[in-house]
Structure 1
Amino acid sequence: MTPGTTVRGSGPGLLLAHGAGGGVEANYGPILEGLAARHTVVGVDYPGAGATPRAGRPLDLDGLADALVAAADAEGLDTFAVSGYSLGGPVAIRVAARHPDRVRALVLSATFAHADTRTTLVADIWHELFESGRHALLARYVNLMAVGEPVLNTLSPDQVRAAAEQLATGFPVGTGDQVDLVRRVDVRGDLAGLSVPALVVVTTADPLVSPTLQRELAAALPAAEVAELPTGHLPFVERPGEWLRLIDDFLARVG
Protein backbone atom coordinates (compact mmCIF):
# COMPACT_ATOMS: atom_id res chain seq x y z
CA MET A 1 0.00 0.00 0.00
CA THR A 2 1.26 3.48 -0.87
CA PRO A 3 2.28 5.55 2.19
CA GLY A 4 -0.47 7.94 3.18
CA THR A 5 -3.24 5.61 1.96
CA THR A 6 -5.92 4.17 4.26
CA VAL A 7 -7.86 1.05 3.27
CA ARG A 8 -10.47 -0.59 5.50
CA GLY A 9 -13.36 -3.00 5.22
CA SER A 10 -15.03 -4.74 2.29
CA GLY A 11 -18.00 -4.18 0.03
CA PRO A 12 -18.85 -1.34 -2.38
CA GLY A 13 -16.14 1.27 -2.73
CA LEU A 14 -16.22 4.47 -0.70
CA LEU A 15 -13.48 7.07 -1.19
CA LEU A 16 -12.76 9.63 1.53
CA ALA A 17 -11.45 13.14 0.84
CA HIS A 18 -10.39 15.00 3.98
CA GLY A 19 -10.21 18.66 4.93
CA ALA A 20 -7.38 21.19 4.94
CA GLY A 21 -4.96 20.78 7.82
CA GLY A 22 -6.44 17.38 8.59
CA GLY A 23 -6.05 13.85 7.31
CA VAL A 24 -8.11 10.73 6.71
CA GLU A 25 -7.68 9.53 10.30
CA ALA A 26 -8.03 13.02 11.78
CA ASN A 27 -11.27 13.82 9.96
CA TYR A 28 -12.89 10.40 9.59
CA GLY A 29 -11.29 8.39 12.40
CA PRO A 30 -14.30 8.28 14.75
CA ILE A 31 -16.57 6.91 11.98
CA LEU A 32 -14.00 4.95 9.96
CA GLU A 33 -14.85 1.53 11.35
CA GLY A 34 -18.55 2.23 10.98
CA LEU A 35 -18.11 3.11 7.32
CA ALA A 36 -15.87 0.08 6.77
CA ALA A 37 -18.55 -2.25 8.14
CA ARG A 38 -20.39 -1.95 4.79
CA HIS A 39 -17.81 -0.56 2.36
CA THR A 40 -14.30 -0.87 1.09
CA VAL A 41 -13.10 2.47 2.39
CA VAL A 42 -10.13 4.12 0.66
CA GLY A 43 -8.64 7.45 1.66
CA VAL A 44 -5.47 9.31 0.73
CA ASP A 45 -3.78 11.93 2.91
CA TYR A 46 -3.01 15.04 0.88
CA PRO A 47 0.62 16.07 0.34
CA GLY A 48 2.03 17.19 3.66
CA ALA A 49 -0.51 15.23 5.74
CA GLY A 50 0.00 11.89 7.43
CA ALA A 51 2.69 9.86 5.68
CA THR A 52 2.33 11.71 2.36
CA PRO A 53 5.31 14.00 1.68
CA ARG A 54 4.81 17.63 0.69
CA ALA A 55 4.40 18.22 -3.03
CA GLY A 56 6.96 21.03 -3.44
CA ARG A 57 4.49 22.96 -5.60
CA PRO A 58 1.02 24.49 -5.15
CA LEU A 59 -1.70 21.90 -4.73
CA ASP A 60 -4.54 21.63 -7.23
CA LEU A 61 -7.87 19.83 -7.16
CA ASP A 62 -7.15 17.71 -10.23
CA GLY A 63 -4.02 16.29 -8.62
CA LEU A 64 -5.79 15.47 -5.35
CA ALA A 65 -8.73 13.93 -7.20
CA ASP A 66 -6.53 11.80 -9.43
CA ALA A 67 -4.47 10.55 -6.47
CA LEU A 68 -7.68 9.37 -4.81
CA VAL A 69 -8.85 7.59 -7.95
CA ALA A 70 -5.42 5.98 -8.36
CA ALA A 71 -5.76 4.56 -4.85
CA ALA A 72 -9.17 3.15 -5.80
CA ASP A 73 -7.61 1.59 -8.90
CA ALA A 74 -4.93 -0.02 -6.75
CA GLU A 75 -7.70 -1.68 -4.69
CA GLY A 76 -9.55 -2.89 -7.79
CA LEU A 77 -12.56 -0.60 -7.33
CA ASP A 78 -14.25 0.09 -10.65
CA THR A 79 -17.01 2.25 -9.17
CA PHE A 80 -17.34 4.02 -5.86
CA ALA A 81 -19.10 6.64 -3.80
CA VAL A 82 -17.05 9.64 -2.68
CA SER A 83 -17.34 11.38 0.68
CA GLY A 84 -15.77 14.83 0.89
CA TYR A 85 -15.42 16.80 4.12
CA SER A 86 -14.62 20.55 4.03
CA LEU A 87 -11.86 20.99 1.37
CA GLY A 88 -12.58 17.36 0.50
CA GLY A 89 -15.96 18.42 -0.88
CA PRO A 90 -14.47 20.20 -3.91
CA VAL A 91 -12.05 17.28 -4.29
CA ALA A 92 -14.99 14.85 -4.37
CA ILE A 93 -16.83 17.04 -6.87
CA ARG A 94 -13.77 17.12 -9.10
CA VAL A 95 -13.52 13.30 -8.91
CA ALA A 96 -17.12 13.08 -10.13
CA ALA A 97 -16.53 15.63 -12.88
CA ARG A 98 -13.41 13.86 -14.16
CA HIS A 99 -14.72 10.29 -13.73
CA PRO A 100 -18.52 10.49 -14.15
CA ASP A 101 -18.92 6.84 -15.13
CA ARG A 102 -17.25 5.61 -11.96
CA VAL A 103 -18.88 7.71 -9.23
CA ARG A 104 -22.11 6.24 -7.85
CA ALA A 105 -22.86 8.87 -5.23
CA LEU A 106 -21.45 11.93 -3.46
CA VAL A 107 -21.60 12.82 0.23
CA LEU A 108 -20.51 16.40 0.86
CA SER A 109 -20.19 17.58 4.48
CA ALA A 110 -19.36 21.03 5.92
CA THR A 111 -18.17 22.11 2.51
CA PHE A 112 -18.29 24.69 -0.26
CA ALA A 113 -18.04 25.10 -4.03
CA HIS A 114 -15.95 28.25 -3.77
CA ALA A 115 -14.43 30.41 -1.07
CA ASP A 116 -16.54 33.50 -0.46
CA THR A 117 -15.07 36.64 1.12
CA ARG A 118 -15.57 35.40 4.68
CA THR A 119 -14.05 31.98 4.01
CA THR A 120 -11.11 33.60 2.25
CA LEU A 121 -10.51 35.85 5.25
CA VAL A 122 -10.56 32.84 7.58
CA ALA A 123 -8.11 31.01 5.31
CA ASP A 124 -5.83 34.05 5.04
CA ILE A 125 -5.48 34.30 8.83
CA TRP A 126 -5.06 30.52 9.18
CA HIS A 127 -2.36 30.50 6.49
CA GLU A 128 -0.47 33.46 7.95
CA LEU A 129 -0.46 32.06 11.49
CA PHE A 130 0.76 28.67 10.28
CA GLU A 131 3.47 29.96 7.96
CA SER A 132 4.76 32.42 10.58
CA GLY A 133 5.13 29.62 13.13
CA ARG A 134 2.54 31.01 15.55
CA HIS A 135 0.99 27.59 15.99
CA ALA A 136 -0.21 28.13 19.57
CA LEU A 137 -2.23 31.16 18.45
CA LEU A 138 -3.40 29.26 15.37
CA ALA A 139 -4.67 26.44 17.59
CA ARG A 140 -6.74 28.91 19.60
CA TYR A 141 -8.06 30.40 16.38
CA VAL A 142 -8.98 26.97 15.01
CA ASN A 143 -10.89 26.18 18.21
CA LEU A 144 -12.79 29.45 17.85
CA MET A 145 -13.57 28.93 14.16
CA ALA A 146 -14.20 25.18 14.07
CA VAL A 147 -16.10 24.28 17.24
CA GLY A 148 -19.77 25.16 17.35
CA GLU A 149 -20.73 27.84 19.87
CA PRO A 150 -22.97 25.57 22.00
CA VAL A 151 -20.19 23.01 22.42
CA LEU A 152 -17.45 25.60 22.87
CA ASN A 153 -19.39 27.22 25.70
CA THR A 154 -19.61 23.94 27.60
CA LEU A 155 -15.83 24.12 28.05
CA SER A 156 -13.98 26.26 30.57
CA PRO A 157 -11.27 28.67 29.38
CA ASP A 158 -8.69 26.34 30.96
CA GLN A 159 -10.06 23.38 28.99
CA VAL A 160 -9.94 25.38 25.77
CA ARG A 161 -6.34 26.43 26.45
CA ALA A 162 -5.35 22.82 27.15
CA ALA A 163 -7.00 21.64 23.94
CA ALA A 164 -5.20 24.37 21.98
CA GLU A 165 -1.83 23.41 23.48
CA GLN A 166 -2.34 19.83 22.32
CA LEU A 167 -3.57 20.87 18.88
CA ALA A 168 -0.63 23.24 18.33
CA THR A 169 1.85 20.36 18.22
CA GLY A 170 -0.08 18.33 15.66
CA PHE A 171 -0.62 20.50 12.60
CA PRO A 172 0.43 18.61 9.44
CA VAL A 173 3.50 20.06 7.72
CA GLY A 174 1.43 20.69 4.59
CA THR A 175 -1.25 22.70 6.37
CA GLY A 176 -0.20 25.95 4.67
CA ASP A 177 -0.30 24.34 1.22
CA GLN A 178 -3.75 22.91 1.84
CA VAL A 179 -5.20 26.12 3.26
CA ASP A 180 -3.78 28.00 0.28
CA LEU A 181 -5.84 25.72 -1.96
CA VAL A 182 -8.98 26.57 0.03
CA ARG A 183 -8.55 30.18 -1.12
CA ARG A 184 -8.32 29.15 -4.78
CA VAL A 185 -11.10 26.55 -4.97
CA ASP A 186 -13.94 27.11 -7.40
CA VAL A 187 -15.89 24.10 -8.66
CA ARG A 188 -19.10 25.97 -9.45
CA GLY A 189 -18.55 25.22 -13.14
CA ASP A 190 -18.58 21.47 -12.41
CA LEU A 191 -21.89 21.35 -10.54
CA ALA A 192 -24.55 21.68 -13.23
CA GLY A 193 -23.11 18.76 -15.19
CA LEU A 194 -23.26 16.31 -12.29
CA SER A 195 -26.31 14.02 -12.27
CA VAL A 196 -25.00 11.64 -9.60
CA PRO A 197 -27.09 11.30 -6.40
CA ALA A 198 -25.65 13.58 -3.75
CA LEU A 199 -26.17 14.23 -0.06
CA VAL A 200 -25.11 17.63 1.26
CA VAL A 201 -24.70 17.55 5.04
CA VAL A 202 -25.07 21.14 6.23
CA THR A 203 -23.36 21.78 9.55
CA THR A 204 -25.78 24.37 10.86
CA ALA A 205 -23.65 25.73 13.75
CA ASP A 206 -20.51 26.00 11.62
CA PRO A 207 -18.44 29.15 12.29
CA LEU A 208 -15.85 28.30 9.62
CA VAL A 209 -17.84 27.43 6.49
CA SER A 210 -21.16 29.24 6.73
CA PRO A 211 -24.36 27.21 6.34
CA THR A 212 -25.38 29.73 3.65
CA LEU A 213 -22.39 28.74 1.53
CA GLN A 214 -23.13 25.07 2.10
CA ARG A 215 -26.76 25.48 1.03
CA GLU A 216 -25.67 27.37 -2.09
CA LEU A 217 -23.65 24.31 -3.08
CA ALA A 218 -26.63 22.03 -2.54
CA ALA A 219 -28.91 24.27 -4.59
CA ALA A 220 -26.52 24.15 -7.54
CA LEU A 221 -26.28 20.34 -7.60
CA PRO A 222 -29.08 18.91 -9.77
CA ALA A 223 -29.58 15.66 -7.83
CA ALA A 224 -28.74 16.81 -4.30
CA GLU A 225 -30.67 16.29 -1.12
CA VAL A 226 -29.88 18.16 2.08
CA ALA A 227 -29.52 16.93 5.64
CA GLU A 228 -28.95 19.42 8.42
CA LEU A 229 -26.69 18.46 11.31
CA PRO A 230 -26.60 20.75 14.38
CA THR A 231 -22.84 20.87 14.79
CA GLY A 232 -19.88 23.14 14.18
CA HIS A 233 -17.25 22.38 11.57
CA LEU A 234 -16.17 19.15 13.28
CA PRO A 235 -19.02 16.62 13.02
CA PHE A 236 -16.56 13.82 13.78
CA VAL A 237 -15.97 15.45 17.19
CA GLU A 238 -19.37 16.87 18.05
CA ARG A 239 -21.83 14.38 16.49
CA PRO A 240 -19.97 11.40 14.97
CA GLY A 241 -22.80 8.90 15.45
CA GLU A 242 -25.35 11.10 13.72
CA TRP A 243 -22.94 11.92 10.93
CA LEU A 244 -22.24 8.22 10.34
CA ARG A 245 -25.96 7.41 10.25
CA LEU A 246 -26.65 10.12 7.67
CA ILE A 247 -23.90 8.80 5.40
CA ASP A 248 -24.78 5.13 5.87
CA ASP A 249 -28.51 5.63 5.36
CA PHE A 250 -27.99 7.67 2.20
CA LEU A 251 -25.56 5.22 0.65
CA ALA A 252 -27.84 2.30 1.50
CA ARG A 253 -30.70 4.03 -0.36
CA VAL A 254 -28.81 5.04 -3.48
CA GLY A 255 -26.74 1.87 -3.77
Structure 2
Amino acid sequence: MNTDRSLSASDLDVLVKGDGPALLLAHGAGGGIEGNFGLVLDDLAQDHTLVGPHYPGAGGSPVATEPLDLDDLADQLVAAAAAAGQDSFAVLGESLGSAVAVRIAARHPERVRALVLTAGFAVADPVLDLAARLIKSLAAAGQWEDVARLAFLSCLSPTDLAKIEPAYIDAVVAQALAGMPPGTVDHFDLASRVDVRPDLGNLSAPTLIVVPTGDRLVLPESSHRLAEDIPGAKLIELRGAAHILNEADRATWLHHVREFLDTLPAVPA
Protein backbone atom coordinates (compact mmCIF):
# COMPACT_ATOMS: atom_id res chain seq x y z
CA MET A 1 0.00 0.00 0.00
CA ASN A 2 1.34 3.41 -0.94
CA THR A 3 1.38 5.61 2.15
CA ASP A 4 3.49 8.37 0.60
CA ARG A 5 2.30 11.85 1.46
CA SER A 6 2.02 14.99 -0.63
CA LEU A 7 4.94 17.35 -0.15
CA SER A 8 5.13 21.08 0.30
CA ALA A 9 8.12 23.02 -0.96
CA SER A 10 11.10 23.05 1.42
CA ASP A 11 12.94 26.27 2.29
CA LEU A 12 15.96 24.40 3.63
CA ASP A 13 19.48 25.11 2.42
CA VAL A 14 20.46 21.99 0.46
CA LEU A 15 23.79 20.67 -0.77
CA VAL A 16 23.42 18.68 -4.01
CA LYS A 17 26.50 16.94 -5.36
CA GLY A 18 27.49 14.04 -7.58
CA ASP A 19 25.70 11.70 -9.95
CA GLY A 20 24.12 8.27 -9.58
CA PRO A 21 21.67 6.64 -7.15
CA ALA A 22 20.57 9.21 -4.57
CA LEU A 23 21.69 9.38 -0.96
CA LEU A 24 19.63 11.67 1.28
CA LEU A 25 21.78 12.89 4.18
CA ALA A 26 20.23 13.58 7.60
CA HIS A 27 22.69 15.29 9.94
CA GLY A 28 22.85 15.40 13.72
CA ALA A 29 21.86 18.02 16.30
CA GLY A 30 24.16 21.01 16.34
CA GLY A 31 25.81 19.74 13.19
CA GLY A 32 25.46 20.11 9.46
CA ILE A 33 26.21 18.32 6.23
CA GLU A 34 29.89 19.27 6.18
CA GLY A 35 30.26 18.71 9.93
CA ASN A 36 28.87 15.19 9.82
CA PHE A 37 29.67 13.97 6.32
CA GLY A 38 32.47 16.25 5.12
CA LEU A 39 35.16 13.54 5.18
CA VAL A 40 33.21 11.32 2.76
CA LEU A 41 31.24 13.73 0.52
CA ASP A 42 33.75 13.68 -2.33
CA ASP A 43 34.09 9.91 -2.24
CA LEU A 44 30.36 9.18 -2.17
CA ALA A 45 29.65 11.79 -4.84
CA GLN A 46 31.79 9.85 -7.33
CA ASP A 47 28.92 7.43 -7.93
CA HIS A 48 25.93 8.82 -6.02
CA THR A 49 23.83 11.95 -6.07
CA LEU A 50 24.08 13.43 -2.60
CA VAL A 51 21.20 15.53 -1.30
CA GLY A 52 22.12 17.18 2.00
CA PRO A 53 19.46 19.45 3.52
CA HIS A 54 20.41 21.55 6.53
CA TYR A 55 17.90 21.61 9.37
CA PRO A 56 16.43 24.98 10.38
CA GLY A 57 19.19 27.06 11.92
CA ALA A 58 22.01 25.09 10.25
CA GLY A 59 23.92 25.93 7.10
CA GLY A 60 21.95 28.60 5.26
CA SER A 61 18.56 27.39 6.49
CA PRO A 62 16.53 30.00 8.40
CA VAL A 63 16.20 29.56 12.15
CA ALA A 64 12.88 28.04 13.24
CA THR A 65 10.28 30.34 14.74
CA GLU A 66 8.67 27.53 16.75
CA PRO A 67 9.76 24.14 18.15
CA LEU A 68 10.84 21.68 15.48
CA ASP A 69 8.42 18.90 14.58
CA LEU A 70 9.82 15.52 13.53
CA ASP A 71 7.13 14.78 10.93
CA ASP A 72 7.55 18.20 9.36
CA LEU A 73 11.34 17.91 9.31
CA ALA A 74 11.15 14.45 7.72
CA ASP A 75 8.80 15.76 5.05
CA GLN A 76 11.03 18.77 4.39
CA LEU A 77 14.01 16.50 3.74
CA VAL A 78 11.99 14.39 1.34
CA ALA A 79 10.73 17.55 -0.38
CA ALA A 80 14.33 18.70 -0.78
CA ALA A 81 15.22 15.40 -2.46
CA ALA A 82 12.19 15.64 -4.74
CA ALA A 83 13.11 19.22 -5.67
CA ALA A 84 16.57 17.92 -6.63
CA GLY A 85 14.90 15.44 -9.00
CA GLN A 86 15.32 12.40 -6.73
CA ASP A 87 12.14 10.37 -6.21
CA SER A 88 13.86 7.52 -4.37
CA PHE A 89 16.97 7.33 -2.23
CA ALA A 90 18.85 5.67 0.58
CA VAL A 91 18.84 7.76 3.75
CA LEU A 92 22.06 8.16 5.76
CA GLY A 93 21.18 9.41 9.24
CA GLU A 94 23.63 10.44 11.95
CA SER A 95 22.56 10.77 15.61
CA LEU A 96 19.35 12.85 15.54
CA GLY A 97 19.40 12.23 11.79
CA SER A 98 18.82 8.53 12.50
CA ALA A 99 15.45 9.32 14.08
CA VAL A 100 14.70 11.64 11.16
CA ALA A 101 15.63 8.84 8.74
CA VAL A 102 13.37 6.35 10.50
CA ARG A 103 10.45 8.77 10.33
CA ILE A 104 11.15 9.40 6.63
CA ALA A 105 10.99 5.65 6.00
CA ALA A 106 7.77 5.37 8.00
CA ARG A 107 6.04 8.26 6.24
CA HIS A 108 7.44 7.73 2.73
CA PRO A 109 8.23 4.00 2.41
CA GLU A 110 7.98 3.90 -1.39
CA ARG A 111 10.76 6.47 -1.67
CA VAL A 112 13.27 4.88 0.72
CA ARG A 113 15.59 2.25 -0.78
CA ALA A 114 17.66 1.71 2.36
CA LEU A 115 18.67 3.19 5.72
CA VAL A 116 22.12 3.69 7.24
CA LEU A 117 21.79 4.75 10.88
CA THR A 118 24.96 5.84 12.70
CA ALA A 119 25.12 6.65 16.44
CA GLY A 120 21.36 6.39 16.34
CA PHE A 121 18.50 6.28 18.79
CA ALA A 122 14.75 5.82 18.71
CA VAL A 123 14.21 7.80 21.89
CA ALA A 124 16.68 9.84 23.94
CA ASP A 125 18.59 7.67 26.40
CA PRO A 126 19.50 9.11 29.83
CA VAL A 127 22.90 10.42 28.69
CA LEU A 128 21.50 12.22 25.65
CA ASP A 129 18.55 13.53 27.63
CA LEU A 130 20.83 14.98 30.32
CA ALA A 131 23.15 16.50 27.72
CA ALA A 132 20.20 18.10 25.90
CA ARG A 133 18.90 19.57 29.16
CA LEU A 134 22.34 20.97 30.02
CA ILE A 135 22.77 22.48 26.57
CA LYS A 136 19.36 24.16 26.75
CA SER A 137 19.92 25.52 30.26
CA LEU A 138 23.45 26.77 29.54
CA ALA A 139 22.30 28.44 26.33
CA ALA A 140 19.39 30.08 28.13
CA ALA A 141 21.90 31.55 30.59
CA GLY A 142 24.07 32.79 27.73
CA GLN A 143 26.90 30.43 28.60
CA TRP A 144 27.67 29.42 25.03
CA GLU A 145 31.34 28.65 25.71
CA ASP A 146 30.21 26.06 28.23
CA VAL A 147 27.82 24.63 25.64
CA ALA A 148 30.80 24.23 23.32
CA ARG A 149 32.88 22.64 26.09
CA LEU A 150 30.11 20.15 26.86
CA ALA A 151 29.65 19.27 23.20
CA PHE A 152 33.40 18.94 22.71
CA LEU A 153 33.79 16.68 25.76
CA SER A 154 30.79 14.54 24.78
CA CYS A 155 31.56 14.07 21.09
CA LEU A 156 35.26 13.09 21.13
CA SER A 157 36.86 9.93 22.43
CA PRO A 158 39.31 9.98 25.35
CA THR A 159 42.02 8.96 22.87
CA ASP A 160 41.31 11.92 20.61
CA LEU A 161 41.05 14.29 23.56
CA ALA A 162 44.41 13.08 24.89
CA LYS A 163 46.07 14.17 21.65
CA ILE A 164 45.16 17.81 22.29
CA GLU A 165 47.76 19.79 24.21
CA PRO A 166 46.19 21.45 27.28
CA ALA A 167 47.43 24.84 26.12
CA TYR A 168 45.31 24.54 23.00
CA ILE A 169 42.04 23.42 24.63
CA ASP A 170 40.54 26.92 24.77
CA ALA A 171 41.42 27.54 21.14
CA VAL A 172 39.81 24.27 20.08
CA VAL A 173 36.69 25.04 22.13
CA ALA A 174 36.53 28.49 20.51
CA GLN A 175 36.71 26.81 17.12
CA ALA A 176 33.87 24.47 18.10
CA LEU A 177 31.82 27.42 19.29
CA ALA A 178 32.38 29.27 16.02
CA GLY A 179 31.11 26.25 14.09
CA MET A 180 28.02 25.75 16.23
CA PRO A 181 24.92 26.61 14.17
CA PRO A 182 22.27 29.03 15.48
CA GLY A 183 19.73 26.21 15.57
CA THR A 184 21.73 24.04 17.98
CA VAL A 185 19.33 24.42 20.90
CA ASP A 186 16.32 23.74 18.65
CA HIS A 187 18.00 20.59 17.37
CA PHE A 188 18.75 19.27 20.87
CA ASP A 189 15.26 20.17 22.00
CA LEU A 190 13.91 17.96 19.21
CA ALA A 191 16.40 15.20 20.09
CA SER A 192 15.05 15.18 23.65
CA ARG A 193 11.46 14.78 22.37
CA VAL A 194 11.61 12.29 19.49
CA ASP A 195 10.20 8.81 19.89
CA VAL A 196 10.19 6.67 16.77
CA ARG A 197 9.88 3.34 18.60
CA PRO A 198 6.39 2.71 17.16
CA ASP A 199 7.82 3.05 13.63
CA LEU A 200 10.59 0.48 13.92
CA GLY A 201 8.70 -2.79 13.55
CA ASN A 202 6.96 -1.59 10.39
CA LEU A 203 10.09 -0.61 8.47
CA SER A 204 10.73 -2.62 5.31
CA ALA A 205 13.83 -0.93 3.86
CA PRO A 206 17.19 -2.75 4.19
CA THR A 207 18.93 -1.20 7.19
CA LEU A 208 22.52 -0.93 8.35
CA ILE A 209 23.15 0.14 11.96
CA VAL A 210 26.64 1.54 12.69
CA VAL A 211 27.58 1.68 16.37
CA PRO A 212 30.52 3.77 17.63
CA THR A 213 31.24 1.81 20.79
CA GLY A 214 33.08 4.74 22.43
CA ASP A 215 30.16 7.13 22.00
CA ARG A 216 29.66 9.29 25.10
CA LEU A 217 26.69 11.33 23.85
CA VAL A 218 24.39 8.59 22.56
CA LEU A 219 24.78 5.29 24.39
CA PRO A 220 25.78 2.41 22.08
CA GLU A 221 22.91 0.46 23.62
CA SER A 222 20.53 2.82 21.82
CA SER A 223 21.87 1.65 18.46
CA HIS A 224 21.68 -1.98 19.57
CA ARG A 225 18.01 -1.48 20.39
CA LEU A 226 17.43 -0.08 16.90
CA ALA A 227 18.99 -3.21 15.42
CA GLU A 228 16.84 -5.45 17.62
CA ASP A 229 13.59 -3.72 16.68
CA ILE A 230 14.06 -3.07 12.93
CA PRO A 231 13.28 -6.23 10.95
CA GLY A 232 16.36 -7.69 9.27
CA ALA A 233 18.68 -4.86 10.34
CA LYS A 234 22.41 -5.50 10.04
CA LEU A 235 24.67 -4.13 12.81
CA ILE A 236 28.37 -3.36 12.71
CA GLU A 237 30.49 -1.85 15.49
CA LEU A 238 33.27 0.70 15.21
CA ARG A 239 35.38 -0.30 18.19
CA GLY A 240 36.31 2.68 20.37
CA ALA A 241 34.91 5.23 17.93
CA ALA A 242 33.41 8.43 19.34
CA HIS A 243 30.15 10.19 18.54
CA ILE A 244 31.97 12.34 15.97
CA LEU A 245 34.02 9.92 13.88
CA ASN A 246 37.67 10.78 13.38
CA GLU A 247 39.31 10.32 9.99
CA ALA A 248 40.32 6.69 10.56
CA ASP A 249 36.94 5.65 11.93
CA ARG A 250 35.11 7.49 9.15
CA ALA A 251 37.21 5.59 6.59
CA THR A 252 36.12 2.31 8.22
CA TRP A 253 32.53 3.59 8.22
CA LEU A 254 32.79 4.36 4.51
CA HIS A 255 34.04 0.85 3.76
CA HIS A 256 31.08 -0.76 5.53
CA VAL A 257 28.54 1.67 4.07
CA ARG A 258 29.81 1.12 0.53
CA GLU A 259 29.65 -2.67 1.01
CA PHE A 260 26.06 -2.30 2.17
CA LEU A 261 25.03 0.04 -0.64
CA ASP A 262 26.53 -2.36 -3.17
CA THR A 263 24.05 -5.03 -2.06
CA LEU A 264 21.02 -2.91 -3.00
CA PRO A 265 19.13 -3.60 -6.23
CA ALA A 266 20.05 -1.35 -9.12
CA VAL A 267 17.92 1.76 -9.56
CA PRO A 268 15.71 1.36 -12.68
CA ALA A 269 16.85 3.57 -15.54
Query: What's the CA shift string for 1:39-73, capped at 9, x where partnerless?
Result: 11101100011100012011011111111111111
What is the DSSP-based 3-state SS (H/G/I as helix, E as strand, rest coil) of the residue aligned with 1:73?
Answer: helix
Q: Which residue, 247, 263, 268 being the options, matches 1:253? A: 263
**Matched residue, 2:223:** 214
Native 8 Å contact 2:125 2:218 kept in 1:
no
Instruction: Check if 1:150 corresponds to 2:150.
Output: no
Using the TM superposition, give the Cα deviation of residue 3 of structure 1 relative to its aligned residue in structure 2, in angstroms.
5.7
| Residues 227/172 of structure 1: CA separation in 2 closer, same or farther (3 Å cut) | same
The within-5 A match list for 1:154-233 is 154-230=163-239, 231-233=241-243
The within-5 A match list for 1:46-85 is 46-85=55-94
**Matched residue, 1:87:** 96
> Which stretches in structure 1 are left out of the alignment for 5+ residues?
none
TM-score normalised according to structure 2 size:
0.91
Using the TM superposition, give the Cα deviation of residue 25 of structure 1 relative to its aligned residue in structure 2, in angstroms.
1.4
- Count, aligned residues: 255
Native 8 Å contact 2:12 2:76 kept in 1:
no
Distance 1:58 1:188 in 2: 21
**Matched residue, 2:131:** 122
Using the TM superposition, give the Cα deviation of residue 145 of structure 1 relative to its aligned residue in structure 2, in angstroms.
0.6
Distance 1:86 1:130 in 2: 21
Distance 1:97 1:254 in 2: 19
Native 8 Å contact 2:54 2:60 kept in 1:
yes
Query: What's the CA shift string for 1:181-240, capped at 9, x where partnerless?
Result: 011010000000002100000011001101111111111111210011131001155622
| Residues 3/118 of structure 1: CA separation in 2 closer, same or farther (3 Å cut) | closer
Higher mean alpha-carbon deviation, 128-137 vs 112-121, is at 128-137
| Residues 238/123 of structure 1: CA separation in 2 closer, same or farther (3 Å cut) | farther
Distance 2:253 2:144 in 1: 29
Higher mean alpha-carbon deviation, 126-135 vs 101-110, is at 126-135
Higher mean alpha-carbon deviation, 81-90 vs 109-118, is at 109-118
Higher helix share: 1
Letter paired with 2:47: R
Distance 2:234 2:186 in 1: 32
Q: Identity across aligned pairs (percent)?
A: 47
What is the DSSP-based 3-state SS (H/G/I as helix, E as strand, rest coil) of the residue aligned with 1:239?
Answer: helix
Letter paired with 2:21: P
Using the TM superposition, give the Cα deviation of residue 165 of structure 1 relative to its aligned residue in structure 2, in angstroms.
1.5
The within-5 A match list for 1:27-38 is 27-38=36-47
Higher mean alpha-carbon deviation, 207-216 vs 127-136, is at 127-136
> Which stretches in structure 2 are left out of the alignment for 5+ residues?
1-9
RMSD of equivalent CA atoms: 1.5
Letter paired with 2:109: P
TM-score normalised according to structure 1 size:
0.95
What is the DSSP-based 3-state SS (H/G/I as helix, E as strand, rest coil) of the residue aligned with 1:83?
Answer: strand
Using the TM superposition, give the Cα deviation of residue 123 of structure 1 relative to its aligned residue in structure 2, in angstroms.
0.9
